[in-house]
Amino acid sequence: MCGIVGLYLKNPALESRLGELFEPMLLAMTGRGPDSAGFAIYGDEVNEGWVKLTLQSGEVEYDWKTLMGELEGCLGCSLDWFRNASAAVLKVNADEAMVRAALKTLAPDVRVMSAGRSIEILKGMGLPAEIAERFSLAGMKGSHIIGHTRMATESAVTMEGSHPFSTGDDLCLVHNGSLSNHFRLRQELERHGIGFETENDTEVAAGYLTWRLQQGDSLQQALDHALEDLDGFFTFAIGTRDGFAVIRDPIACKPAILAETDDYVAMASEYQALASLPGIDKAKVWEPEPATLYVWEKKAV
Amino acid sequence: MKTINLTESTVRDLNQALHDQARDLREREWLVTHPDGKHNLAVGINEALSIDIQGHAGYYCAGMNQKASVTVHGNVGVGVAENMMSGMVRVKGSASQSAGATAHGGLLVIEGDAGARCGISMKGVDIVVGGSIGHMSCFMAQAGRLVVCGDAGDALGDSLYETRIYVKGSVKSLGSDCIEKEMRAEHLEELAELLNRAGFDEDPASFKRYGSARQLYNFKVDNASAY
């Protein structure tokens, strides 16, 4: 099963309430995915030349302070960072590859969940309510957010196997469905230098998009290729720095519903996840067509 | 009229109260408020009740209906009126996939669009859609009539048995063993009657009829040696 939800604000006045509006959407999808949950929130953007990374450790009481001190020494510049439960958000005026390399040396067990100028991916095992509480979702601000509640079918229930998956800078993917050609596709992508951390089928779809985008595809082109190369069932929501996109496979077994008002665009697996949004009774509500890309962004793709 | 507010009552309370009427009829008219996309609203009713649902409903709304008349003043999720036996279900908005799946009887009216697999394996229900329908509609449909005032998606009527399909707009593609058929006087008559019951002001002559070529489901004695 699995539930997916997304909320993109058209009205900047609502940005201070993004987490508060989104939390009930995520919780409404608990029945579709009680194993683990996560979200990718976009906001608090760092300046050009800076990079923001979200890190996770398996240890709840992980000593981030020591790691950040060592990282500052290694990179030779000061860091801006804060802890959020089992995660840490790090902002640094340095090259992303250098930061990643330094982290790999200093703390090989720490996972980089996301990188970019705006994105923060926070996820973990447990009920959606526990994840929302753990990362203080309700108080978060931002321009847009996508989330996922997982009922695992293809691979183990772990923090790493929960969604969203990063697909590049400020890009991420959540998935409802199951891919049938992920094993072969993973082998092909590994030959192209894409690395994988789990046995998860969605990570393969994320790796596929990462690879296509590295090849110079636009998001639209990458998803057009995905429709040809991914075999199986999927409704995807894709977070980008400027907005979000939704696409369903041509068979369209997995549900999706969209709602739009002057204030926001929202998507969910089921309407009940949208019922708590303000003005939803006046919203335009519709189902996305199969094999059709829907994109909302501040700028064109 | 009795009102049930689903912010105060559970779906189970609602359905139990509706089922109780089949044993001891005390209230014919029901109003359901704040459905908020909840699943399984007004399922398994077995009495001639009149039920209005004020808002969007979730999956399997009015499933297994017998005798009742259910109106949804909004959209519905997957499988509205699935396995309906009799009565009437009207959706003022649009329906998700598998509307009227496997239904044996009664009338399902969808004033907006219906998603994929509308009328899949229908077994005698009549379905009238004011808008368009998605792909694989009427897949393996056995009996009953489907009327579409808009367009139909890919693979309409794939592996069709004896359901008759009337479409006013375009058909993206026909499924295996589904063909366009001649519209004779009796078909115009039954279509006019269905449109009238559904409350749509459309000209029956502007529709085309589709049905089974009957090449797939009849056993051909010439093939007996293959078994």
Give the CATH number of the domain where residue A58 resides: 3.30.70.3400
- Which domain-ending residue is among A65, A86, A117? A117
DSSP-assigned beta bridge partners for residue B50: B29, B69
Whether the predicted pLDDT of A238 surpasses 60: yes
Q: Which residue from B145, B227, B154 is spatially nearest to B192, judged by alpha carbons?
A: B145
Give the CATH number of the domain where residue A292 resides: 3.60.20.10
User: What mean pLDDT is reported for chain A?
Assistant: 94
The pLDDT of B70-82, averaged and rounded, is 98
Note whether B55 contacts A281, CB cutoff 8 Å: yes
Tell me the shortest Cα–Cα distance from B59 to chain A, in angstroms. 9
Mapping DSSP onto H, E and C, the string for A62-100 reads CCHHHHHHHHHHHHCCCEEEEEECCEEEEEECCCHHHHH
Residue of A nearest to B135 (CA): A251
Looking at residue B222, what is its pLDDT? 79
A79 & A178 share domain: no
Between A198 and A294, name the one with better pLDDT. A294
Which of A7-16, A153-162, B214-223 has the highest average model confidence (pLDDT)?
A: A7-16
Domain count, chain A: 2
Sheet holding A294-297, edge to edge: A165-168, A171-179, A232-240, A243-248, A294-297
Handedness of CA B113, B115, B116, B118 (dihedral sign): negative
Contacts of A270 in chain B (CB under 8 A): 37, 58-59, 77
Looking at residue A299, what is its pLDDT? 62
Looking at residue A197, what is its pLDDT? 85
A21 & A63 share domain: no
The pLDDT of B2-13, averaged and rounded, is 98
> Would you say A245 and A218 are in contact if contact means Cβ atoms under 8 Å apart?
no
Please work out, in degrees rounded to the nearest 5, the angle formed at the alpha carbon of residue B45 by the alpha carbons of B39 and B48. 135
Residue of B nearest to A287 (CA): B96
DSSP letter, residue A129: H
A151 & A286 share domain: yes
Note whether A252 contacts B59, CB cutoff 8 Å: no
Q: How far apart are CA B73 and CA B94, in angstroms?
A: 10
- Tokens at A265, concatenated: 């665009």
Q: Which of residues 246-265 of A touch B (CB under 8 A)?
A: 252, 255, 257
Looking at residue A297, what is its pLDDT? 84
Tell me the shortest Cα–Cα distance from B7 to chain A, in angstroms. 12
- Cis upstream peptide for A164 (omega within 30°): yes
Q: What is the pLDDT of residues A123-157, one digit of tens each?
A: 999 999 999 999 999 999 999 999 999 998 878 89
- Strand segments (E) across chain A: 3-9, 36-42, 51-56, 79-84, 87-92, 111-116, 119-125, 144-150, 165-168, 171-179, 232-240, 243-248, 257-260, 264-268, 284-286, 294-297
A88 & A191 share domain: no
- Which domain-ending residue is among A117, A136, A153? A117
- Which domain-ending residue is among A62, A82, A117? A117
| Domain extent for A196 | 3-45+124-297
Q: How far apart are CA A122 and CA A87, in angstroms?
A: 7
Contacts of B6 in chain A (CB under 8 A): none
Interface probe, candidates A271, A274, A286, chain B, greatest B C-beta count within 10 A: A271
- Least CB-CB distance to B96: which of A272, A287, A290? A287
The pLDDT of B154-183, averaged and rounded, is 97
Task: Give one DSSP letter per residue of B80-148, joined into a string.
Answer: TTTT--SSEEEESS-B-SSTTTT--SSEEEESS-B-TTTTTT-EEEEEEESS-B-TTTTTT--EEEEEE
Tell me the shortest Cα–Cα distance from A287 to chain B, in angstroms. 7
Note whether B135 contacts A252, CB cutoff 8 Å: yes
Tell me the shortest Cα–Cα distance from A281 to chain B, in angstroms. 8
Token pair 């559904």 in the structure block, residue: B198
Q: How many residues does chain A have?
A: 301
Residue of B nearest to A271 (CA): B37
Note whether A270 contacts B116, CB cutoff 8 Å: no
Domain B2-216 annotated CATH 3.20.20.20:
no
**Active site residue ranges of A:** 2
B22 falls in which pLDDT band (50, 70, 90)?
very high
The pLDDT of B122-136, averaged and rounded, is 98
The pLDDT of A196-214, averaged and rounded, is 91
Token pair 């230098």 in the structure block, residue: A193
Residue ranges of domains in chain B: 2-216
A37 & A63 share domain: no
- Tokens at A110, concatenated: 């720490």
Tell me the shortest Cα–Cα distance from A228 to chain B, in angstroms. 18
- Least CB-CB distance to B37: which of A252, A272, A286? A272
Whether the predicted pLDDT of A301 surpasses 60: no
Looking at residue B224, what is its pLDDT? 79
Which amino acid appears at position A50 of this protein? W
A261 & A185 share domain: yes
Which of A167-181, A237-251, B124-138 has the highest average model confidence (pLDDT)?
A: B124-138
Whether the predicted pLDDT of A242 surpasses 50: yes
What is the count of residue pairs from A and B with beta carbons less than 8 Å apart? 41
Q: How far apart are CA B58 and CA B76, in angstroms?
A: 5
Interface probe, candidates B10, B36, B133, chain A, greatest A C-beta count within 10 A: B36
Say if B96 is an interface residue toward chain A (CB within 8 Å).
Answer: yes
